[in-house]
C-alpha cells in the first residue's frame, strides 16, 4: 500500500492511497460469503452459492462494492498511522480507481491537529485571588443557614416586600379567561420578581381577601407574549421569621452546641472553599499563560462543533431552569451578537487548549495507568450519583475509553504545567500549589487531626474503587490500546 499526503491547509490534508488488488482478497471472500447468505438460487442452500453464480445473478460490481466498503476503514486507519498525522473527525472519502484484478485507489480529506511543539513553560508566573475569609462572608453564610430554618406566621396587615402571600391569579384576554395562565393557592414572595411583570407592584398594600387587576404580558402557555388583564386575589399574608443566631439555633441547625463553634466551622468551610478556588484559578491561569506563548491555526469545523456543543448545553440548562434564551441574555445584559462572540472566543480557546495539552502529553511521554482510570470513574460516578461499576460498564460498552484517556492525560499535562509555574496571590505571597493540593485532600498534618483512621479510605470508597478497577480491567486489551492510540492520533 502506498500513501501520499498533500497538505491542503495547516489543519487539513488529502491522503491519496493506492492498494494492490491482492490486498482486497480477504474482503472479497467475505463479500461473497455474506451475499451468498442473502441470495436465493434454486438448487443451492443459503451460504453455498458459488462465486461464479453470484457474479452472474448479482453482479461482480456489487461484490466489489461490498468488499471496498468493508476494506476502507482498515485501509484508511493504516494510511493515517503510516502518515503519522493526528486526525480530527470523520474523513471525506472518494474511490478514485477500482481496476478489477489490478489496483484499488482512494482519497481521503480530513482535518488534522496542527503540527507544533509546546515551548518551555518554566518561569511562567500567575497571580490568583487572596484566600481571605471576611467576617461579612461568614455572617452571610450564617444568614443563609438561618433562612433555611425560617418560619412563616400570619400577618394581620397589608402585604409588604419580603412577605409571603398565598394568591389566586385569573388572566383574561378580551374578557375570556386563559386557563393555563390562571392558578389558585399559589405561594409567592413579594418583591422576588420571579413571576409575571407587574405582580409585585400589585401585591404591595393588599390585605387578605383583597384583589387588584393590572395589565401584564403572559410569559407561558399558548398565549405567551400577549397582554392580558390579570386579577390577583390575596388569600393570606405571612411574614418570615428568622431564628436568632444563638446557641439554641446552633444546636438546631448543626452538630455544635454553641453559636461560636458553628461560626468557627463556617469560617473553616469557607476557608477550604476559597483555597479550592485558588487552586482552580491557578490551573486556569497557568493554562492561559501557556496558551499565550503558542500560536497555532485551528480547524474551523472543529471550532464550529465546539460552538454547537456549548450552545446545546446552554439550551438544555435553560430548559431545565424554565428560562428562554432571551431571559438569559436580559439577565446577563448582553445582546445576542455579544453572546455569540463570547461563545466563539471560548470555543476557540477550548480547542486550542486541548491541542496544546495533547501535544504536551506526547512530548512528556505521559501515560494513563489503570488506577488513574479507576479513580476518574469513581469520582465521576459519585458526582453523577451512580455506582462506579455501572458507569465503568457504560463507558466500556459505548467506546468512551478514548475520551476518558484523553481527559485524564490532559489533566496530567496541566498538572505538570502548574508544577513549573510560579503562583502568587494578590498580596504577593508565593503559593505552594502541591502543598495546597495535599491539604485539600487531607494529606497534611497542618490541618486539625481528625479521629484515628481518618486518612484511610472508607470501606465504601475502597469497594467502589475496586469495582471500577475491575470493570476497567475487564475491557479487552485491544480496546485499551485503542484508547491510548486515541491520544496519539485523535482529539
Dist CA 37 CA 47 (whole Å):
4
Dihedral over Cα of 129, 134, 140, 146: its sign = positive
**CB neighbours of 282 closer than 8 A, spacing ≥ 6?**
126, 128, 418, 421, 423, 431, 433
Dist CA 234 CA 203 (whole Å):
8
Q: Where are the alpha helices (DSSP H) in 183-258?
A: 199-203, 247-253
Dist CA 439 CA 418 (whole Å):
17
Pick from 12-16, 99-103, 182-186, 384-388: least confident: 99-103
- Consecutive H or E run containing 12: strand 12-20
Place of cell 420578581: 193
On the CB side of 156, CA atoms within 13 Å amount to: 0
pLDDT over 80 (residue 478): no
Residues 367-407 pLDDT 10s: 998 888 888 889 889 988 889 888 888 888 888 888 888 99
pLDDT over 70 (residue 475): no
Dist CA 110 CA 107 (whole Å):
10
**CB neighbours of 415 closer than 8 A, spacing ≥ 6?**
none
Portion of the chain with pLDDT greater than 70, in percent: 90
Query: Given this model, what pLDDT does residue 98 score?
Result: 87
Average pLDDT over residues 98-119: 91
Question: Which is higher by pLDDT, 440 or 410?
Answer: 410
Residue 443: pLDDT band with limits 50, 70, 90: low
Dihedral over Cα of 113, 85, 403, 370: its sign = negative
Dist CA 230 CA 167 (whole Å):
12
Place of cell 475491557: 475
Dist CA 489 CA 481 (whole Å):
12
Residues 162-219 pLDDT 10s: 999 999 999 999 999 998 889 999 999 999 988 888 999 999 999 999 999 999 988 8
Query: Given this model, what pLDDT does residue 330 score?
Result: 85
Query: Given this model, what pLDDT does residue 273 score?
Result: 94
Decide: 471 and 168 in contact? Cβ < 8 Å.
no
What is the SS3 assignment for 18? strand
Q: Which residues of 414-428 are buried (b: 16+ CB within 10 A; e: fewer)?
A: bebbbeebebebeee
Residue 483: pLDDT band with limits 50, 70, 90: very low
**Residue 43: Cβ-neighbour burial (10 angstroms; 0-12, 13-18, 19+):** exposed
Residue 368 φ/ψ, nearest 5 degrees = -115, 125
**Residue 378: Cβ-neighbour burial (10 angstroms; 0-12, 13-18, 19+):** buried
Residues 414-436 pLDDT 10s: 999 999 999 999 999 999 888 88
On the CB side of 154, CA atoms within 13 Å amount to: 6
Decide: 414 and 286 in contact? Cβ < 8 Å.
yes
Q: Which residues of 357-377 are buried (b: 16+ CB within 10 A; e: fewer)?
A: bbbbbbeeebebeeebbbbbb
Pick from 35-49, 76-90, 432-446: least confident: 432-446
Q: Nine-digit cell at 437?
A: 493540593
Dist CA 309 CA 34 (whole Å):
39
Average pLDDT over residues 345-350: 95
The terminus-to-terminus CA distance of the chain in angstroms comes to 26
- Consecutive H or E run containing 173: strand 164-173
Q: Nine-digit cell at 251?
A: 444546636
Decide: 424 and 128 in contact? Cβ < 8 Å.
yes
- Consecutive H or E run containing 185: strand 183-189
Provide the whole-model pTM: 0.70
Q: Which residues of 5-36 are buried (b: 16+ CB within 10 A; e: fewer)?
A: eeeeeebbbbbebebeeeebeebbeebbeebb
Decide: 2 and 95 in contact? Cβ < 8 Å.
no
pLDDT over 50 (residue 491): no
Query: Given this model, what pLDDT does residue 448 score?
Result: 31
Give how far Cα 406 sits from Cα of 28, 116, 306, Å: 36, 18, 16
Pick from 193-202, 355-364, 405-414, 481-490: least confident: 481-490
* Cβ atoms < 10 Å from Cβ of 413: 23
Amino acid at each position: 500500500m502506498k500513501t501520499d499526503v498533500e497538505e491542503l491547509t495547516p489543519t487539513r490534508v488529502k491522503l491519496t492511497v493506492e492498494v494492490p488488488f491482492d490486498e482486497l482478497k480477504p474482503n472479497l471472500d467475505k463479500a461473497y460469503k455474506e451475499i451468498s447468505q442473502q441470495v436465493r438460487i434454486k438448487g443451492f442452500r443459503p451460504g453455498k452459492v458459488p462465486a461464479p453464480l453470484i457474479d452472474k445473478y448479482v453482479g461482480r460490481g456489487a461484490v466489489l462494492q461490498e468488499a471496498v466498503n468493508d476494506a476502507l476503514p482498515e485501509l484508511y486507519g493504516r494510511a493515517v498511522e503510516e502518515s503519522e498525522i493526528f486526525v480530527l473527525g470523520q474523513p471525506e472519502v472518494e474511490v478514485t480507481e477500482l481496476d478489477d484484478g489490478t489496483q484499488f485507489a482512494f482519497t481521503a480529506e480530513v482535518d488534522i491537529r496542527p503540527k507544533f511543539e509546546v515551548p518551555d513553560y518554566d518561569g511562567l508566573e500567575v497571580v490568583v485571588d487572596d484566600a481571605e475569609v471576611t467576617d461579612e462572608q461568614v455572617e452571610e453564610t450564617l444568614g443563609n443557614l438561618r433562612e433555611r430554618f425560617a418560619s412563616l406566621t400570619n400577618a394581620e396587615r397589608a402585604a409588604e416586600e419580603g412577605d409571603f402571600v398565598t394568591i389566586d391569579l385569573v388572566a383574561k384576554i378580551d374578557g375570556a379567561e386563559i386557563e393555563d395562565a390562571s392558578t389558585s393557592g399559589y405561594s409567592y414572595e413579594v418583591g422576588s420578581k420571579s413571576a409575571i411583570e407587574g405582580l409585585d407592584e400589585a401585591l404591595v398594600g393588599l390585605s387578605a381577601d383583597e384583589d387588584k387587576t393590572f395589565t401584564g404580558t403572559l410569559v407561558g402557555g399558548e398565549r405567551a407574549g400577549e397582554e392580558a388583564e390579570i386579577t390577583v386575589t390575596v388569600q393570606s399574608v405571612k411574614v418570615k421569621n428568622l431564628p436568632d443566631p444563638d446557641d439554641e439555633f446552633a444546636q438546631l441547625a448543626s452538630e455544635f452546641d454553641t453559636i461560636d463553634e458553628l461560626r468557627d466551622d463556617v469560617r473553616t468551610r469557607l476557608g477550604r472553599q476559597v483555597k479550592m478556588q485558588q487552586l482552580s484559578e491557578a490551573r486556569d491561569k497557568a493554562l492561559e499563560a501557556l496558551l499565550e506563548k503558542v500560536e497555532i491555526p485551528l480547524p474551523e469545523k472543529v471550532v464550529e462543533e465546539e460552538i454547537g456543543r456549548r450552545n446545546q448545553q446552554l439550551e438544555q440548562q435553560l430548559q431545565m431552569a424554565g428560562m428562554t434564551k432571551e431571559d438569559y441574555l436580559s439577565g446577563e445584559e448582553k445582546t445576542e451578537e455579544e453572546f455569540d462572540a463570547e461563545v466563539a472566543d471560548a470555543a476557540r480557546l477550548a480547542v486550542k487548549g486541548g491541542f496544546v495539552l495533547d501535544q504536551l502529553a506526547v512530548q512528556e511521554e505521559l501515560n494513563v495507568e489503570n488506577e488513574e482510570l479507576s479513580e476518574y470513574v469513581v469520582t465521576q460516578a459519585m458526582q453523577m450519583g451512580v455506582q462506579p461499576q455501572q458507569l465503568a460498564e457504560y463507558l466500556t460498552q459505548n467506546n468512551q475509553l478514548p475520551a476518558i484517556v484523553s481527559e485524564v492525560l490532559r489533566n496530567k499535562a496541566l498538572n505538570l504545567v502548574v508544577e513549573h509555574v510560579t503562583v502568587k496571590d494578590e498580596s504577593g505571597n508565593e503559593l505552594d500549589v502541591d502543598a495546597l493540593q495535599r491539604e485539600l485532600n487531607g494529606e497534611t498534618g497542618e490541618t486539625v487531626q481528625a479521629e484515628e483512621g481518618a486518612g484511610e479510605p472508607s470501606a465504601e470508597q475502597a469497594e467502589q474503587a475496586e469495582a471500577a478497577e475491575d470493570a476497567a480491567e475487564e475491557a479487552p486489551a485491544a480496546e485499551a490500546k485503542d484508547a491510548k492510540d486515541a491520544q496519539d492520533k485523535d482529539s
